[in-house]
Amino acid sequence: MRSKSIPLLAVAFGLVAQSAGAHDIPNDVTVQAFLKPEGNHLHLLVRVPLVAMRDINFPQFGPGYLDLDRSAPLLPDAATLWISGFIQMYEGATLLPKPAVMATRISMPADKSFATYEDAMAHFKAPPLGNDTQIYWTQPTMDVLFDYPIASDRSEFSINPGGLARLGLRVATVLRFLPPKGPDGEQVVRAFEYEGDPGLVRLDPRWYQAAGRFVDLGFHHILDGTDHLLFLFCLVIPFRKFRALIPAVTAFTVAHSITLIASAYNLAPDALWFPPLIEVLIALSIVYMALENIVGGSTVHKRWMIAFAFGLVHGFGFSFALRQTLQFAGRHMLTSLLSFNIGVELGQLLVLLIMIPALDLLFRYVVAERMGIIILSALVAHTAWHWMSERWGVLSKYRIQWPELTPAFLASVLRWLMVLVAIAGVAWWVRVVRQGKLRKDARKDAGTAAEVVDRV
């Protein structure tokens, strides 16, 4: 009997240990923070769940209630180890030294004092919770007031809070920066919301700093976006000359720039079904382009118009990817959007430099050109069709309702009509210029032919 019980006890012990270890790292952690420079001090106020302070055994009593009096002396070390130790703060290009812990306290989960900076500062001056408060140690939050020495509150500040992503499996941060008041005495609050590690966050970036960040975002977004790469691939397959691709790629660029900028300025529909609809249309654009390659007969003139139409759709897709990132643009929204498009174009150029020679080699040494176009386009169409089916399944779960005819809706429709009229005007102008060039080339060819006849 004893020999049988030992393995059972070992298994039970292993399950308990595994269960305890699974709770070491919290699943979801929300960090709230304020940053405000005042004189020669930079105040950082942070609120985090106490359960995220791992490897620290906070005293408990009863069925797991937190012993507030005995836990209070452990809070400064926990704040230094798990918060300020993971944050890098910069004044200009200078890395600031680790901050001093000015105050710490335990708060109830329903406490609303971090709604504003003023309320949070007043919260640190209020009496702490009494030790008769019965709260489980996994429920409260820890509030910390840090102080950084700085040269001036008018300096440019940036923060790299990437280490805070280690507090949990999914860490969401709400950071609010309060720069010094302007000449009008109004306090500006710049809010940043992000998940995980955002990298270096410039709290009030210059235009060129915002531009550099968004060029990099655009470049990597096009390289990571399978949808956009397949669409570009379909553009390239039948026309593998840079000169022939310039009209289509340019039209695609102009089109997605229009809808991206419009979306960033809240001109796009905000209904829940709109993003799934755009995802379906993006997949549809790839299917259409692939089928057109299979059928054949597409001309350069027709291809650029199709690329323009689908570019409008892809621009909305770009805007969804930038929805959370635009907060890092600061006061340079338009500059950041244009920089993102520049990054996209640089990424597309890199892809073209790889795709065109690779396709030329494939059609020259491996498979006949027409057969290769059909095979590659069929593979792309098959993949995009599955995407479209899956995305349609998601879209069909939404209930699409016609919007109410409110003044705000009518104003939005009017703005989009103005955009469409501008697009139509640009398309007409391009067509007129192209037809004029064709007529000029035809007259030139006719003149050359006449000269040859005269010489003969």
Residue ending a domain, among 357, 374, 401, is 401
- The burial of 58, by beta-carbon neighbours within 10 Å (0-12 exposed, 13-18 middle, 19 or more buried), is given as buried
Q: Give domain status of residue 267, yes or no.
A: yes
Q: Are residues 262 and 161 in the same domain?
A: no
Q: Are residues 257 and 188 in the same domain?
A: no
User: pTM of whole model > 0.95?
Assistant: no
Q: Are residues 297 and 148 in the same domain?
A: no
Which two structure tokens, joined as six digits, stand for 58? Answer: 């906070």
- Answer whether 150's CB lies under 8 Å from 9's CB: no
Q: Give domain status of residue 226, yes or no.
A: yes
Q: Give domain status of residue 428, yes or no.
A: no
Alpha carbon distance 251, 305 (integer Å): 7
Q: Give domain status of residue 424, yes or no.
A: no
Q: Are residues 309 and 164 in the same domain?
A: no
Residue 338 corresponds to which amino acid? L
Q: Are residues 244 and 156 in the same domain?
A: no
Q: Are residues 108 and 181 in the same domain?
A: yes
Q: Are residues 278 and 131 in the same domain?
A: no
Residue 422: per-residue pLDDT? 62
Residue ending a domain, among 183, 204, 225, is 204
Residue 12: per-residue pLDDT? 38
- Answer whether 55's CB lies under 8 Å from 82's CB: no
Helix axes 300-322, 226-236, angle to 10 degrees: 170
Total domains in the chain come to 2
- The burial of 4, by beta-carbon neighbours within 10 Å (0-12 exposed, 13-18 middle, 19 or more buried), is given as exposed
Q: Give domain status of residue 455, yes or no.
A: no
Q: Give domain status of residue 108, yes or no.
A: yes
Per-residue pLDDT of the chain (456 residues; tens, 9 = 90+): 444 444 443 333 333 333 333 347 888 999 999 999 998 999 999 999 999 988 888 888 888 888 888 888 999 999 999 999 899 999 998 999 999 999 999 999 888 899 999 999 999 988 888 877 888 888 899 999 999 999 999 999 999 998 888 899 999 999 999 998 877 777 788 888 888 888 888 988 888 888 988 999 889 888 888 888 899 888 888 887 777 788 888 888 888 888 888 888 877 777 888 889 999 999 999 999 999 888 876 676 778 888 888 888 898 888 887 877 888 888 888 888 889 989 988 998 898 889 989 998 998 888 888 898 899 999 999 999 999 999 999 998 888 766 666 666 566 666 656 656 665 666 666 666 666 665 666 666 566 655 655 665
Q: Are residues 222 and 364 in the same domain?
A: yes
Q: By residue range, what is the domain housing residue 143?
A: 27-204
Q: Give domain status of residue 431, yes or no.
A: no
Q: Are residues 263 and 371 in the same domain?
A: yes
| Helix (H) and strand (E) counts in the chain | 12, 12
Alpha carbon distance 262, 280 (integer Å): 20
Q: Are residues 333 and 247 in the same domain?
A: yes
Q: Give domain status of residue 445, yes or no.
A: no
Characterise 371 by phi-psi region: left (phi > 0), alpha (psi -120 to 50), beta (else): alpha
Residue 15: per-residue pLDDT? 35
Q: Are residues 181 and 316 in the same domain?
A: no
Q: Are residues 253 and 345 in the same domain?
A: yes
Residue ending a domain, among 151, 183, 204, is 204
Residue 79: per-residue pLDDT? 92
